[in-house]
Amino acid sequence: MLKASIKLGTRIIKRNIQVHMATHKRINLLNVIKTFLPQSAMQSFHKTLIKPIVDYEWVIWGAISQYNLDRIFALHKYAVRAILNIRRTQAYNLG
């Protein structure tokens, strides 16, 4: 029983890492195409291809640890910086 539980936990972690990496790749794509698209198109790209995955990660990883929440938050900030064309060293306020 313990082995099955550990095996399932390992599979869940591996799958969530794959999802995280897929999201990162989509944000990198957004960074590449942002010079060719208006900001409204980039926001649409975010809403349809990035935000649902970040929301999924939040639900799955969020209950596990603060470290994972920080990773998801950092990924989301990366997407926002790409959309708004803000450098990592620049401060910004969305509120």
Tokens encoding 56: 């999924």
Tokens encoding 27: 């944000």
DSSP code for 86: -
**Whether pLDDT at 82 is above 60:** yes
Q: Which residue has the higher pLDDT, 95 or 46?
A: 46
Distance separating alpha carbons of residues 13 and 11, to the nearest angstrom = 5
**Whether pLDDT at 95 is above 50:** no
- The phi, psi pair for 89, rounded to 5°, reads -85, -10
pLDDT band for position 61 (cuts 50, 70, 90): low
Percent of all residues in the chain with a pLDDT value above 70, rounded to a whole number: 74
pTM of the model: 0.62
pLDDT in tens, 1-26: 656 666 656 776 777 777 778 878 88
Which residues are CB-contacts of 27 (< 8 A; sequence separation ≥ 6)?
50, 75, 78, 79, 82
